[in-house]
Amino acid sequence: MRSQVAQRLECLGTKLSLHPRLRELDAQISALDAALAAVHASKALPLLLSFVLSIGNVLNAGTAKGDAAGFRLEDLQKLADVKTTSEPQTSLLSLVAQLAAGTNKDVGRQLHDELRPIAEVRELKFESLREKMVELRAELEMMGRELTSFEPAAESDRFAEVIRPFYSEAASHEARLEARLEATNAVLVDLSRYLADKVEATEPEAVLARLHAFETSFGKACRDNERQANLERAKAIELKAAEERRKSAGNTPGGTPGSGGTMSKRKQPIRRVVQAGGALMAGIQGSLRRGDFQKMVALRNQHLALRRHSIVGSPHDDD
């Protein structure tokens, strides 16, 4: 009796939690399907993959790797690490972004928008979905066994009456989800093979993770290229403006190149002006040059005395 009560309680617990869990699994499988549909519908992705293949064949021309029909998807992660030896260094990924931008300047944004559904499932693990499905199936099987061996504990025992319709609908829902999950797995495997990616039995979603990583790094390369192009344009504009200023300065009368059109004035030496009859001032200036301070003081006193005489006159003038 105790065992029967425990099993019935487990069945009731499953009844309370099963529908939300089924809806969650349904939404996650739908998100995976949307990501796969986005990859197949993308127009930018095939273009970029063709650029990568073409550049690789050019670089490997004349070698055993030349004239390749394709490449492994995991090689996309190496594009940022392959760089030129000359300065400034440019990565192969940056070169792909430049070539693609020549065809479509918004290719980075386009790829991001087209593969946005992948970002929504980047942390979703397919194996965890399988584990959840196994747990649900086990709980439903336990519920089915309990219904098969059901014996009313009393005339008022309505356990089977309540659980049986729920079990029938839930088992049908779980079977549909399990079929969808396996179909999604098959599409993931097919996509991996189509893109020459390594097929991971326990991680079929790895192909989406690699595509998301490529979309992220490619978008960064596009932004870096755009930023560098803006800097170069600004530098070219500044150089052109400086050249025009130099030409303008050269065409200005009396101007000199590099003067900015302003005539630089030659500094003239300060001249000491000695007025006619100013022999006394000339003597003072000479004393200053020679450092003869005593004579300078005497000459100054003599000069002051002469000025007083010219103003008030000599005391003997009234006699």
Instruction: Give the tens place of pLDDT for each residue, 43-54.
Output: 999 999 998 998
What mean pLDDT comes out for the span 190-200? 91
**Cα separation, 288 vs 301, whole angstroms:** 15
What is the distance in angstroms between the CA of the first residue and the CA of the last residue of the chain?
161
How far is the CA of 161 from the CAs of 44, 143, 150, in angstroms?
56, 13, 11
d(CA 147, CA 265): 110
2-151+160-228 has which fold? Methane Monooxygenase Hydroxylase; Chain G, domain 1 (1.20.58)
pLDDT tens digits, one per residue of 243-291: 998 988 877 665 555 444 444 445 555 444 444 444 444 544 454 455 5
Cis (ω within 30 of 0) for the bond into 46? Answer: no
